[in-house]
Amino acid sequence: MAKHVKPVSTYFGENIFNLTKMQQMLPKNVVEKMTDVVLKGTKLDRDTASVVAIAIKEWAISKGCTHYSHWFQPLTGFTAEKHDSFIDFGENGKLIEAFSEKQLIQGESDASSFPSGGIRTTFEARGYTIWDPTSPPFIIEYPHGNTLCIPSVFVSYTGDTLDKKAPLLRSVEALNTAALGMLKYFGNSASKVYTTLGVEQEYFLIDREFYNKRIDLKQTGRTLFGRIPAKHQQMEDQYFGNIPERAFAFMTDFENEAYKLGIPLKTRHNEVAPNQFEVVPIYEDVNVAIDHNQIIMDLMDRIARRHGLAVLLNEKPFATVNGSGKHCNWAMVTDKGENLLNPGKTPQKNLRFLVFLMATVRAVNKYAKLLRASIASAHNDHRLGANEAPPAIISVFLGSLLSEVLHDIETGKITDTAEQSWLSIGIDKIPSIPKDNTDRNRTSPFAFTGAKFEFRAVGSSQSPSTPIAILNTITASMLDVMRTEIETCIAEGKDFTTAVVEVLRKSISESKKVIFEGDGYSETWHKEAAKRGLPNIKTAPEAFESYLEKDVKEVFERYKVYNAREIEAIYHIDLENYIKQVDIEADITRDRALTKYIPTAARYVSELSSTVEGLRSTLGKNDKGIKTLVDVIKTLSSSIVKLQSESAALEKALLAAEKIENSRKKGAAYLAIRRQTENIRAIVDGLEEIVADDLWPVPKYSDMLVSL
C-alpha cells in the first residue's frame, strides 16, 4: 500500500529564497526594490543587498546550512561550486556566523583550471563569480549537511565571460529590446519581453552493479562495445508503458527534492527504449528553467545512487537503441502575459503573431549552421540523424495550416473553405488561426507545436544555455531586420498593414526553403534538402566551423552577447572537448581490446582446443562436430589477429593526431580515429556472438536493458 504523501503545494519551494520568501522576511521597501531587480532588471544597490544578505544567512542557517557557494556554469557545460563557511571572527576573537552583501554579490574563484579557449593564459588565475538575482538562491540537502547555493555568472579578471549564463542573460536582453521595438508598431503597451522554456529531459536508468562493471560506461557515459539483444524496442511496448517499481521509487524521491527546490515537474513516463524515461517541467522564465535543468541532472545522479541505480544522460549510451535528447520548448512572452507565438483571434494580433513567427523562421533559415553548431558534440553525433532523433539538417515544421497560410500570403491567394472558413490573405484581412493548429513532427529538429517552438535536437547531457542564447540572439536580429524593412515601406508611403504584409511576403519567399512538413528521417528529404541548398553537417568538427564565420561574429558582437574573443573561445573549447572525448574513448577501446577481449577470446580458443583434442581421441579426426569446432577456433583466432592489428593502427593514429597543431586538421584526424574505434567495436561485438556466455567479461546489453 502506498504511503501517504503531503500535497506538493505544502512544501513546494521551501528550499529556495524567492520573492515569496522575501515578502515573509524583508521590509516592504526592500521587497519592492528586489521585485524591480528580479522582474524589471533594475540595478541592485548595496544597501538593499546588505539587508538581503542578512536575511538569506538567517534563513540558510535555520535550514541547516553551514556553508554557502556561488553556484555557476563554466564553459565545461556542467556546474561548479566552491563552498565557504559562514564562520568568521567577531569582536574579541569570538567565532560568529556572518555573511555580508559583498559575499552575497561577488566571490572569487581560481579560474586557471576552467576552459577559456585562449581568453586568458593559465597563470592568469583570477575569476569572479557575480550573483544573478533573477534566479533564486537555493539549498542543496546532503545526508551530512546542507549548502546554500547562489546562482552566479563567472567572468575573467578582464571582464570576458567564462560561463554559459552570462551570454544567455545578454541574449535575453537583446531579444527584449528587439521585440519591444517591433511591438510598438502594434500598439502594445508591454514594457518587457522575456523568453520561456520548458526542457523535456530524457535519460536511462540501469542497475549500478552493471554500471560499475562497465569501464566504458563509467568513463565515457556510453558503451563502446555491445551487441543489441534479441528484444529491445522493436515491439514498441515500452513507450508510455507501466513504470517499473524501482524506477518509480527513484522518480518519487527525485521529484520530492525537485519540488522543494521550486522546480515545477509536471510529467514522467517511459520512453521508447528499454530503461529509458523522461521528465518534463512546466514552462518557466528561460534563465530559471536552465538553472533548474542543471539542478535536475545533478539531483538525478545523486538520488539514483541511493537506489542502487545509475542515471545515463549520454546522448547514445547504447548503440542501435534510441538515444536521449533534451527537447527545448521556447516561446516569447510579454510582461502582460501575452504569448507572442500564440496566433490569437483578432486580425491585428494575428498579424503580429505572423511577424514574430516569421522572424523566428527567418532566423533559423539564415543561421541554420550556427544552430547546428550549438548542439554539436562527440556524443550527439551518434544521435542526430540516427532515425530516432532529428536529422542533422536544420529545418522548421509549421504544420499544414500554417504552411498554407504562409503560402497564401506569399502568393496573395484568396482562400474561402468551409472547413476553415477564413477569408483573404490580402492586406485588409488576416485569417483567424486556431492555437492548436499543428500536429507534432518528431522528425523535425525545430517544430512549431502551438504557441511555441520545440528545439528537439539539443543533446540530453548538454546545457541548453548556448543553443537558447543563440536562438534568442538570431531571433532578435531578424526582428530588427523586419522592423527596419517595415519602416522603409512606411517611409515609401505605404500604410502599416500593407508594409507588414509586404515584409511577410519577402520573409516567406527567402525562408521557405527551410520549412519542411514531411519525414525528416527519409532519404527523400536528404535529397530534397540538398536541392534546396540546406546544409547537412553530419559531424561536430565541421559544425564548429560555423562559429568562425563573419556574419556569426557580427551578429554576436552587435547584440553584445559574445565579443570576438569569446566566440573564438567557444569554437576552440567545443573542438577541444570533442577531441578529448574521442581520445578518451579511443584509449579505452584499445585498452579493453588488448587486456579484456583478446584474453577472453584466447581463453575460449584454449577451451575449445582442449575439447577438440579430447573428441579426436574418442571419435576420430573426421567427425563433423570436430570440424565445426575447428571452424569456430579459426574464426576466434582470426578475430584476435584483427583486434591486435586494428589496435596497433589505432595507437599509431593517436600518436600522429597528438602532434597535429592546426585545429581543423586535428579535428579531422580525430574523426578518423572515431571510425577506427568503430572497426574495433565491430570485431568485439562479433566475438560476443560466439564466445561462451560464462566467459564474457562484462555485462551485456541483454543484462542491462531489462526491467528494473
The residue type at 507: S
Mean pLDDT of 321-342: 94
Phi, psi of 487 (to 5 degrees): -60, -35
CATH number for the domain running over 11-163: 3.10.20.70
Task: Report, as an integer, the average pLDDT of 76-94.
Answer: 89
Could you say which of 3.40.190.290, 3.90.850.10, 3.30.590.10, 3.40.50.920 is the CATH number of the domain covering 173-562?
3.30.590.10
Contact 691, 600 (CB under 8 A): yes
- The DSSP code sequence of 469-529 is HHHHHHHHHHHHHHHHHHHHHHHTT--HHHHHHHHHHHHHHHHGGGB--S-TTSHHHHHHH
What's the pLDDT score for residue 236? 66
pLDDT at 424: 42
Residue 123 has pLDDT above 80, yes or no: no
pLDDT digits (tens, 9 = 90+) for 490-537: 999 999 989 999 999 999 999 999 999 988 888 899 999 999 999 999
* Least confident residue range of 208-212, 324-328, 431-435, 445-449: 431-435
* pLDDT band, residue 421 (cuts 50/70/90): very low
- Rounded to whole angstroms, how far apart are CA atoms 390 and 375? 11
Confidence of residue 107 (pLDDT cuts 50, 70, 90): confident
- Tell whether the model's pLDDT for residue 670 goes beyond 60: yes
Determine the average pLDDT of the residues in 290-308: 97
- Indicate whether 432 pLDDT > 60: no
- Give dist(CA 593, CA 596) in Å, integer: 6
Of the listed ranges 74-78, 125-129, 483-487, 681-685, the least confidently predicted one is 125-129
Higher pLDDT, 60 or 42: 60
Average pLDDT score over residue span 411-429: 45
| Domain range list for the chain | 11-163, 173-562, 578-704
Residues 645-662: what's their mean pLDDT?
95
* Confidence tier at 234 by pLDDT (50, 70, 90): low
578-704 has the same fold as 11-163: no
Count Cβ atoms below 10 Å from residue 661 Cβ, excluding itself.
Answer: 6
pLDDT of residue 96: 87
Question: Which of 198-207, 398-407, 661-670 shows the lowest mean pLDDT across its residues?
Answer: 398-407
- Secondary structure (3-state) at 14: coil
Q: Supply the pLDDT for residue 143.
A: 87
Dist CA 699 CA 684 (whole Å):
14
> Strand, helix or coil at 42?
coil
pLDDT, residue 349, reads: 59
Cell of residue 324, nine digits? 536521449
- Of 89-93, 249-253, 356-360, 457-461, the range with the lowest mean pLDDT is 89-93
Query: What is the band of 194 on the pLDDT scale with cuts at 50, 70, 90?
Result: very high
167 touches 473 (CB < 8 A): no
578-704 has CATH 1.20.120.1560 classification:
yes
The pLDDT assigned to 557 comes to 97
Asked whether residue 433 carries a pLDDT value surpassing 70, the answer given is no
**What is the C-alpha separation between 515 and 8, in angstroms, rounded?**
42
pTM, full prediction = 0.92
> Quick one: pLDDT band at residue 62, thresholds 50, 70, 90?
very high
pLDDT digits (tens, 9 = 90+) for 140-186: 998 889 999 999 999 887 778 889 999 999 999 999 999 999 999 99
Helix or strand holding residue 540 (H, E): helix 540-544
Q: At what angle do helices 165-183 and 347-366 cross, to 10 degrees?
A: 140
User: Could you give the angle at the alpha carbon of 12 between the alpha carbons of 7 and 15, nearest 5°?
Assistant: 140
Classify burial at 268, counting beta carbons within 10 Å of its beta carbon; exposed 0-12, middle 13-18, buried 19 or more. Answer: middle
What three-state secondary structure class fits 120?
coil
Higher pLDDT, 50 or 349: 50
If you average pLDDT over residues 644-653, what whole number do you get?
96
**Distance, CA of 73 to CA of 155 (rounded, Å):** 11
Helix (H), strand (E) counts: the chain: 22, 17
Which tops the pLDDT comparison, 414 or 169? Answer: 169
Confidence tier at 418 by pLDDT (50, 70, 90): very low
How confident is the model at residue 266, as a pLDDT? 96
Residue labelled with grid coordinates 517611409: 491
pLDDT for the residue numbered 617: 76
3-state secondary structure of 703: helix
Task: Decide if pLDDT at 430 tops 70.
Answer: no
pLDDT at 400: 84
Q: What is the mean pLDDT of the chain?
A: 89
Pick the residue with more confidence: 97 or 464?
464
Q: Which of 139, 124, 82 is nearest to 106 (CA)?
A: 82
The residues, ordered by sequence, that sit 6+ positions from 159 with a Cβ below 8 Å of its Cβ are none
pLDDT at 425 over 50: no
> What number is the average pLDDT over the span 623-635?
88
